[in-house]
Chain A
Amino acid sequence: MELAIDIILLGFLIIVAIAVVKLRDLFASVILFGIYSLLSAAIFVTLDAVDVAFTEAAVGAGISSILILSTLALTSRNEKPSRHSIFLPLLVVIITGSTLVFGTLDMPAFADPDAPIHKHVAPRYIQDSYQEVGMPNIVTSVLASYRGYDTMGEVVVIFTAGVAVLLLLSSVRHKEDELSNLVDLKHHPILLYVTQILIPLILMFALYVQFHGDYGPGGGFQAGVIFAAGFILYSMIIGIDKVRETFTPKCLRWLAVTGVMLYIGVGIATLILGGEFLNYSVLAEDKLSGQHWGIFLVELGVGITVTATMLSLFLSFSEVRRTP
């Protein structure tokens, strides 16, 4: 039964991928990308990787669709037909692909219980993480404590990507005409009303995901994305001006830096208190409550940075307008 579900989902994934490549209409491609992410999220759920599925659904199907759509508003809707010959790219792709396939031949078989990944650290995570870190959700303790360096790198990557996009956009800033009232929302009182009901719930859910990540699926990345999505919904339906007034570019920059600095600051605090970098056990007298505090602060930093980066990307995309 599970095999049938896997085959159907993977088959759909391939069909959607081919459709994305084939379509010239970029708008439809973006929507199909959202479906692709949702299908991958479903596959992750069948693999019992709920945290990854959550991230994929929130980031892939949720916010990246919005961000790519707002990018499309800056460019044209249809893909330009390419005038290159297809043979050289095809050759490169075939060579790279066959090298990759050749490389995977040495890898252990799928779900092989004797694979190094199941022998090396995974047993320790599964057996000892509750005594060492004290989190019911192993994924959170791996992500924020055992692999705190990697997560710090991810936060810095998100921050850097946000800064890079802002730098690129700041050089092409034309403010031609105000298109923000393109859709006259007076015709959509239902939409306005439902949005007003939903936004507080979305923000509350984001906070739940942020602070409940120790016990269930969730954490800073998903919470940050959901939080930003709430504000993006507000700016799309109710009005972008108020969001701009609240989150000025300066404020967003400060928030993004604050998140990263909070993360690194926790690491430096552990150094000062005599532990290794990002070894949270020294943060309190009790080892487990030290871990708890460390993970709480680190996840908070991740959430703040992700929210600020996503919001500033959306706001700057909607600020730059295409020249007529």
Chain B
Amino acid sequence: MWETFILYSSYILLILGSFLSITFGLGLLRFPDFYSRTHAAGVADTLCAALIIFGLSLQSGFSLITLKLFLILLFLWFTSPTSSFTLASTAYRCGYGVKNKETGN
């Protein structure tokens, strides 16, 4: 009973993660400007990675693999928000796509 529950919750997490990945990929293609696209990519990197890794760790049980998966997740949670933030912030400072603002640059 418990095993079935774990198995199905891992399936649900994996499918949800994959579905959201595809959705954010679509957003990356269809969103109108640079910042919303960066947003889509950043959310996909953190949320979908978390869902998929949680799903996989449910399948692997308590083992070294789970620990490694969580280390990967931790690394992703550090790096991907930082990179999307840096990308967006650098673009903003270089004046990319903020023409209607009267900043003068």
Interface residues of A (CB under 8 A from B): 183, 187-188, 190-191, 194, 197-198, 201
Q: Which residues of B contact A190 (CB under 8 A)?
A: 82, 85-86
A183 touches B78 (CB 8 A): no
Distance (whole angstroms) from the CB of A307 to the closest CB of chain B = 21
* Interface members, chain B 48-104 (any A CB < 8 Å): 75, 78-79, 82, 85-86, 89-90, 93
Q: Is the interface of A mostly helix, strand, loop or mixed?
A: helix
- Which residues in B have their C-beta under 8 angstroms from that of A197? 78
Q: Given the complex of chains A and B, what is the CA–CA distance between A209 and B85 in angstroms?
A: 30
Q: B77: shortest Cβ distance to chain A, in Å?
A: 10
Q: Which residues of A contact B85 (CB under 8 A)?
A: 190-191
Q: Could you tell me the distance between the alpha carbons of A187 and B82 in the complex, rounded to whole angstroms? A: 13
Instruction: Decide if B90 touches A183 in the complex (CB within 8 Å).
Output: yes
A202 nearest CB neighbor, chain B only: B75
Instruction: Report the nearest A residue to B92, measured CB to CB.
Output: A187
Query: Beyond the given A188-B89, A197-B78, could you list 9 further A-B residue pairs with CB under 8 A, ordered by the A residue number?
Result: A187-B93, A190-B86, A191-B82, A191-B85, A191-B86, A194-B79, A194-B82, A198-B78, A201-B75
Chain B: minimal CB distance from A198 (Å)? 6
Whole-angstrom distance from the CB of B73 to the nearest CB of chain A? Answer: 14
Verify B78–A188 contact, CB threshold 8 A: no
For the complex of A and B, the 6 pairs showing the least CB-CB separation, nearest first, are A194-B82, A191-B86, A194-B78, A188-B86, A191-B82, A190-B82
User: How many of chain B's residues touch chain A, expressed as a range?
Assistant: under 10
Complex: A197 Cα to B89 Cα, angstroms: 20
Contacts of A201 in B (CB 8 A): 75
Chain A residues with CB below 8 A from B82, complex form: 190-191, 194
Closest chain B residue, CB of each to CB of A201: B75
Q: Give the distance to chain A from B93, nearest Cβ to Cβ, in Å.
A: 6
List 12 A-B residue pairs with CB atoms under 8 Å apart, sorted by A's residue number.
Answer: A183-B90, A187-B93, A188-B89, A188-B90, A190-B82, A190-B85, A190-B86, A191-B86, A194-B79, A197-B78, A198-B78, A201-B75
**How close is A25's CB to chain B, nearest CB, in angstroms?**
16
Q: How far is the CA of A183 from the CA of B89 in the complex (A)?
A: 12
A117 → B minimal CB distance (Å): 31
Bound-state Cα–Cα, A190 to B89, Å: 11
Residues of chain B lying within 8 A (CB to CB) of residue A183:
90
Residue of B82, B89, B90 with highest tally of chain A CB at under 10 A: B82
Neighbouring B residues of A188 by C-beta, 8 Å: 86, 89-90
Cβ–Cβ contact A198 & B79, under 8 A: yes
The CA of A188 and the CA of B75, in the complex, are separated in Å by: 19
In Å, the complex CA distance between A188 and B84 comes to 12
Q: Please, which residue of chain A has its CB at the minimum distance from the CB of B83?
A: A191
Which residue of chain A has the shortest Cβ distance to B90 in the bound complex?
A183
Determine whether the beta carbon of A187 is less than 8 Å from that of B78.
no
Q: What residues of B have a CB within 8 angstroms of the CB of A194 in the complex?
A: 78-79, 82
Task: Name the CB-closest residue of B to A183.
Answer: B90
Smallest CB–CB gap between A165 and chain B, Å? 28
- Min Cβ gap A160→B in Å is 34
Complex Cα–Cα for A307 and B22 (A): 38
The answer to whether A187 and B79 touch across the interface, beta carbons within 8 angstroms, is no
User: Which residues of A are found within 8 Å of B75, using beta-carbon distances?
Assistant: 201
A187 contacts across to B, CB distance below 8 A: 89, 93
Task: Tell me the bound Cα distance from A193 to B7 in angstroms.
Answer: 38
A201 to B78, CA, bound (A): 12
Cα distance A231–B90 in the bound complex, in angstroms: 23
Q: Chain A nearest CB: distance from B34 CB in Å?
A: 15
Q: How far is the CA of A265 from the CA of B98 in the complex (A)?
A: 61
How many angstroms between the C-alpha atoms of A201 and B71 in the bound complex?
Answer: 11
Q: How far is the CB of A233 from chain B (nearest CB, A)?
A: 11
